Amino acid sequence: MKNFIPDNVSEHTNVYDVLKERGFIEQTTDDEAIRELLGKEKIKFYIGFDPTADCLHVGHFMQVIIMMYMQKYGHTPVVLLGGGTGMVGDPSGRTDMRKMMTVEMIDENCNQFKKLFDRFIEFDNEWKYEGNGGVYAPGRANKVPEPGKAISVNNAEWLRPINYVEFLREIGPHFSVNEMLRADCYKQRMERGLTFFELSYMLMQSYDFLYLHDKYGCKLQMGGNDQWSNILGGVDLIRRIGHSDSYGLTFKLLTTKEGKKMGKTEKGALWLDATKTSPYDFYQYWRNIDDADVKTVLSLLTFLPMEKVEELSNLKDEKINEAKKVAAYEITKLIHGEEEAKKAEEASNALFGGQGSLDNMPTATVASNISILDAIIQVGFAPSKGQARQLITQGGISLNDTKISDTNYVLSDTDFKDGFAILKKGKKSYYKLQK
């Protein structure tokens, strides 16, 4: 097994208690039944991922962590790639319809997702479901998967070839439109107009659970709390078909104390790919979280024992910064490896503590005599000269710890002491400029 989670992460032997202890679990279809199930047998469970981008972000990663816990305690993850549902797009929590992607884009995103899953979850790499469309690793078709090792499936396999009329006859009678429209996943969309296209999403996700239940013996579907209505739809569908051994569980979304989603940066999402979000920027995000969010981050995104989490979370005043450093290092190490985590830590210490090396902080090579406006745009502190000017006039830009007030300022050789200059936006965003 991939050795990410230490044996001392919890004293509990039932993974349900571990997830509960760390604060993951939000809602279940039956608390006691699920706890009993996970304690007495090793089950197959699944989590679905729609390929809305070519990379996973930190919000997805919490779901990956849950699969890692489940696998450590002997359960088999079924990773569902949404090559079929991704063609519609989940309306949950949306105020407008998702942009439709081409089939080629969806398939490529599925491929990229699977590569990232491979880093954290142990798959049976010789297992391959026939007709997978190139998503899975090469191997023997229809081999029985090894117990405990994860498998990945793509709902494009059964959703794309579906006969529409047959699907309506088989699945449609089990759903009440009145009840569907009362579901949380459709409430926001109803205000601006819900298309029939999007209304069908719940039926597709519910059918996924039925298919995985019947074909692979999946007894549990897990997902974020924004998926509650869709998960209930699947559990209810399986029950109406005549089975009683299916369950649903949702976990908390990764949010701040104020309820805002974590992982949103000025540059967009906090991606797990180093080419999209550098290890330094990734580290800095967690280093600068609010004091009130320290326990949440340590509990959900690190594998520190809860005793250590409580100890760090209870630090007060300036000492809480030590807890943030631990969180930033542990999460960055998990995503990018120990070497990159150490480099990011060093760069951060050099900037904020006067110790360490600046070699590993984000660096941009700029032209000689570059204007301050162009420099701001080049490093991504602002998308346009207008917004760059606004940053300067508001006192948000410093060069080598000196506030810049002149929007026409041009960098000269004297600004590049020791061969570089430090451009700063606000208190937390830095870039090393070199010619």
Question: Using an 8 Å Cβ cutoff, are 51 and 109 in contact?
Answer: yes
Residue 94: what residue type? R
pLDDT at residue 71, as a whole number: 95
The pTM is what?
0.81
Query: How far is residue 120 CA from its own chain's centroid?
Result: 13
* 81-107 pLDDT, tens digit each: 999 998 887 666 555 556 778 899 999
Q: What is the pLDDT of residue 378?
A: 87
- pLDDT of 178: 75
Q: What is the pLDDT along the chain (435 residues), one digit of tens a residue?
A: 566 899 999 999 999 999 999 999 999 999 999 999 999 999 999 999 999 888 989 988 999 999 999 999 999 999 999 999 988 876 665 555 567 788 999 999 998 898 889 899 998 876 654 444 434 455 555 556 677 889 888 999 899 999 989 988 888 888 877 777 777 666 666 666 677 777 788 889 999 999 999 988 999 999 998 899 899 999 999 999 888 889 999 998 888 888 888 887 656 788 999 888 889 889 989 998 999 999 999 999 999 999 999 999 999 998 999 999 999 999 999 999 999 999 889 888 877 655 556 666 778 888 878 899 989 898 888 888 889 899 998 888 988 888 888 899 888 888 887 778 888 887 777 788 888
Query: Which pLDDT score is estimated for 9?
Result: 93
Q: Are 351 and 280 in contact (CB under 8 A)?
A: no
Tokens of 83: 């090559």
- Looking at residue 136, its pLDDT comes to 45
pLDDT of res. 242: 84
Element (H, E) at 433: strand 429-434
Q: Could you say which DSSP state residue 121 is in? A: S
Q: What is the pLDDT of residue 94?
A: 52
User: In 10 A of CB 54, how many CB atoms?
Assistant: 15
Q: In the numeric block, which tokens belong to residue 4?
A: 């990410």
Distance (Å, whole) CA 428 – CA 348: 10
SS3 category, 50 = coil
Residue 308 CA: distances (Å) to CA of 10, 19, 303: 11, 16, 10
What's the CA gap between 302 and 234, in Å, rounded? 31
Position 366 scores a pLDDT of: 86
CA–CA dist 424, 404 (Å, integer): 10
Give the integer Cα–Cα distance in Å for 65 and 81.
17
- SS3 of residue 182 by DSSP: coil
- Distance CA(137)–CA(147), nearest Å, equals 18
> What residue type is assigned to position 342 of the chain?
K
SS3 30: coil
- The amino acid occupying position 24 is F
pLDDT at 15: 97
> Which residues are CB-contacts of 271 (< 8 A; sequence separation ≥ 6)?
55, 56, 57, 58, 277
Q: Which residues of 164-196 are buried (b: 16+ CB within 10 A; e: fewer)?
A: eeeeeeebeebbeeeebeebebbeebeeeebee
Domains belonging to the chain, first-starting first, are: 7-251 (3.40.50.620), 264-352 (1.10.240.10), 363-434 (3.10.290.10)
CA angle 126, 216, 214 (to 5 degrees): 155
CA atoms within 13 A on the CB side of 186: 21
Q: How crowded is residue 283: how many other Cβ atoms within 10 Å of its Cβ?
A: 27
C-alpha 158/C-alpha 206 separation (Å) is 13
